[in-house]
Structures are given as C-alpha cells and as structure tokens.
Copies of this chain bind each other. A is one copy, B any other.
C-alpha cells in the first residue's frame, strides 16, 4: 500500500421511511434552507410533499427552491443557486435527487462562500476552505456522490465538463431510502449498475502493491451486484434488491476502495470525451468502453484481469493461461452487461469514426491517462476504434 489518509464524515441514514429523520438532522445545521432538485419527478411521486411537510414541522423554517437542475448540471444553475443563498441569507442546502442534483448542490455549497467565480473551484484554480452545510435525499443508485466529496459540473458556454473533489463537499448526512428509487426506469437502473461496477474497476485496477483487503472489498461489491442485478431488473419495485444495489453504489465510491492505492480512471476519461462530443448516457458509454479497455490492458498485464474472473466469475484458475483466463473474464463481463440490456458498441448510439480525432484529443488530459497501464494517445485511439 501507499501511505494514505482516509476520512468520511457523511452520516448515512439508510432504510425504509428514513425521511422522517429529516427534521432532526436539519435542525443541527440551519433553518433557512435551499431546496435543490431536478425536473420535478419528486413532485409526481410525492417526495416533495413528504420533505416539505417534515421541514415545516420545524419552527421558523424558511424554504427557497431551486428546481430544474439538468442531468449534466450546468455552471449557470450553480450560479443561480449561489445567488439564491446570498439574496436570502440561507444557511443549509438540501438536495433531493440523483448524482446531478447532488453534484450541483455541492458546487453551490462551496461557491456560495467563495468571492470569485465558482468555475475557479470546479477547475481547481481555487481551493474551497469552507461550505454551506449540505444534506441529501438520494433517489437513484449510481454515482456514489451521496458519500463522497466529488462533483462534476458542465460549463455550457465553454463546452467544458470538469470534476472537483473537496472535504468540504461531503454531505453532512444522506438519507437513502430504497423506496425512493422504485420509479427509476429500467434503462437508468442498468446504467446505475454499470456505473457502480465501473467505479470498482477504476480502483481495483490500481498501480500499487499489496492491497488485498481493498481488492476483496471491491470483489464483494461486484459479486453482490452480479447476484442481485438480474433479480432487480425482473421487478424494479423489490425492496430487498433495491437496497442491496443502493448500498453497493455508495460503497463503490466512498473512497474505501481507494485507500492506499493509485487508482486508474482512464476509462472514465475516455467516456467523458465520448459524452462531450456525442450526448450519450454515461453508464451506456462505460458499458461499451470497459471491456475494450480491459482487453487492451490484458495484452500486457493479464494477471489482474484473470484474478478478477477467478474471484467474481468463479473461473477455474487451473484451466488455462493467464491470457486465456483474462479473455474469459472479459467475455463474461460483456455477456453479463448485455444480458441486462446495456449497449455493446458505439454504433448502438450511431457513433462512427468521423469524430474519432476529437474524442481522442478530449480524453488526453496529459501525455498519458490512467495508471494501471498508462495509455498514450495511440492506445486511446485503438480502444475507441475497437469500440465502434
């Protein structure tokens, strides 16, 4: 292991009807609340009423709403939220939604206490030193943002999508009621499953030595997901399966798997480049790209891919070379994602090789990307070509 620090201050409040704890939690932080949410599905499914009812039980509470946060949350929306906080002297932010809504609320929480442009924080030009406290009510299992400091924001004017992370943007509490994910449709549920598994892969394929516990924790999430995901897709309103996927997604990116290891994240960078040029769902892009990334790295380093297959797909380690076991692992992974209904080729989204150069360019944030096998521009091109 490399030396590391690990701390995660977020309080998880997990289970059926846990929104009832809301008032008790919020009163620790403030009474003037910015309520942040997305396209309004929480108005249809009753969650909005439930939340405001709980908040209004507190005395002297004031609620200001910021709705309409986009699926790729925009800097302009972040700025709108910052303005609402300043104008109304708000002291707490409550985000209700999935990754986009929570990421937007995180940028607001640090941007509101920063003198300059919030984009400085997103791009790393400025480092946050404080934040308006933030609580979340999660409505989708996928990104893990409910228990980490990560936020991804799009600057629409500059056609730029960037992520930042800070200890000041960990939610103070996150309420996870699996029932609040019942209305997530099948395709979005699949993308969430692909996303959470991909988060494990990005950390599992690290460039450090001697991290057997972290690897086995990752395998635990993957194995459990392999078992539960197909059952969940049979019945999207099954509490037991929703709860397991929800907890899996949280632990896939609450930084436990990152302890003491240098993680990879090349596939995410390539997917972000594809999404920036062609507007496709993140989970769909990952399902297409990850098997090709794995195939590429297995050509020089098959051992870890083989280990993954032996441990999560129960491949017989005595049956075949490392190369063969790695190939079998990748084919099992592809078959699993295909069985869930995930896309397999970029052409499924009508993407051809016309903008290949641009996608390669966008993916290369340095001379190489990733750390398990650092990828050059040429490597990224090969992976994208195979994914067409």
Could you list which residues of chain A lie within 8 angstroms of chain B, going by C-beta atoms?
A: 1-16, 18, 21, 209-210, 212-213, 216-217, 219-221, 223-224, 227-228, 240, 243-244, 247-248, 251, 256, 259-260
Contact = CB atoms under 8 A, between A and B. Distances in A.
Nearest to A178: B1
List the number of copies, as a whole number: 2
B13 A5 contact: yes
Most interface-central of A21, A217, A243 (chain B CB within 10 A): A217
B219 A213 contact: no
Contact of A220 (B6, B18, B21, B216): B216
A256 to B, nearest CB: 8
**Residue among A2, A10, A12 with the most chain B CB within 10 A?**
A12
A216 B223 contact: yes
A25 to B, nearest CB: 10
A345 to B, nearest CB: 32
A179 to B, nearest CB: 12
B15 A244 contact: no
Contact of A244 (B11, B212, B221): B212
Question: Which 7 residue pairs of A and B lie closest in terms of their CB atoms, listed nearest first?
Answer: A3-B15, A216-B220, A7-B11, A6-B12, A210-B240, A212-B224, A213-B224
Contacts of A244: 210, 212-213
A313 B8 CA distance: 33
A248 B7 contact: no
Given A5-B11, A217-B220, 10 more contacts: A1-B14, A1-B15, A7-B9, A7-B10, A7-B12, A212-B224, A212-B227, A213-B220, A216-B221, A219-B220
